[in-house]
Amino acid sequence: MKFDLAVTVREKTGKGAARQLRREGKVPAVLYGQGECLLLTIEPEPLVKILKSQAGSTALISLSISGVKSNPKRTALLRDFQVDPVEGHVLHADLFEISMEKPIRVKVPVHVIGGTPAGVKEGGILHFNMRELSVECLPAAMPDHIEVDASPLAIGQGIHLKDIAKRDGVRYLDDPEQMVVSVAVPMSDAKLEALLTSQAAGPEGAKEPEVMAKGKIAAEGAEGAEASKTAAPAAAADAKAGEKKEAAAAAPKAEKKEAEKKK
């Protein structure tokens, strides 16, 4: 899908200049790629129209640039944008300039078609395993989306990337064995309850060794404290006994010296 967008080159840079543009009801933007970077000003209405389209990031934008000295007509993709989380206004946009003669790599959304799959009607659950596919192609061959018919899928079946029909000029870059969409077996109430029970018991089981370790450490600490209590009186008794022995050994020597003085 293609869109026309008129933009104007701006000279002022910085947060102050960007705030001033927003106060004037305009959107500051940047165009980069092809060896050049331009600061732009965009009117919000046509930009919002592009953002709300189904093409989104795959839309080819034909730019008409005012205020540029050369090449006022260019083609770009909308690479990124910022939106005010409260008021929803577009705050900034990044545009990537491309060449129509060079292949590009983009992500293309997957659209599931065909109505409700057979397996879902039987109680299965539809899983979107891949919501985007990475592709390489020339800009003119870039698809807006990739359609996948999931209507014949039964429970337990799926569609791999290798099962999707090839498109002229488009090369898929993801693993061919990757599942794109599938219908899963519904989970029984008993299995769900067992899963929830095991998840609830998991953290407790994980904490048990830690508690045991703490208990062991506490026990060892108690044993150490008890041992220190037992050892303290014994050490005191040994010290007293040593003092008595030293006193007993010193007494005869003192008496002998006293007798020698009297003589």
Q: What is the pLDDT of residues 63-80, one digit of tens each?
A: 999 998 888 999 999 999
Give yes or no: residues 53 and 92 share one domain. Answer: yes
The terminus-to-terminus CA distance of the chain in angstroms comes to 133
- Total domain count for the chain? 3
Q: In CATH, what number is assigned to the domain containing residue 118? A: 2.170.120.20
Q: In CATH, what number is assigned to the domain containing residue 12? A: 2.40.240.10
**Residues 72-118 pLDDT 10s:** 999 999 999 999 999 889 999 999 999 999 999 999 999 999 999 99
The alpha carbon dihedral of 100, 105, 109, 111 has a sign of positive
Domain boundary among the residues 161, 186, 211 is at: 186
Give yes or no: residues 199 and 111 share one domain. Answer: no
**Residues 15-28 pLDDT 10s:** 898 999 999 999 99
Band (pLDDT 50/70/90 cuts) for residue 223 is very low
Provide the domain limits for residue 9.
2-98
Domain boundary among the residues 122, 154, 186 is at: 186
Q: Is pLDDT of 52 > 70?
A: yes
Beta-ladder partners of 6: 64
Given a contact cutoff of 8 angstroms between Cβ atoms, the answer to whether 50 and 95 are in contact is: no
Distance, CA of 252 to CA of 256 (rounded, Å) = 6
* Mean pLDDT of the residues in the chain: 80
248: tokens are 């007993």
If one compares 189 and 46, the residue with the highest pLDDT of the two is 46
Radius of gyration of the chain measured on its C-alpha atoms:
41
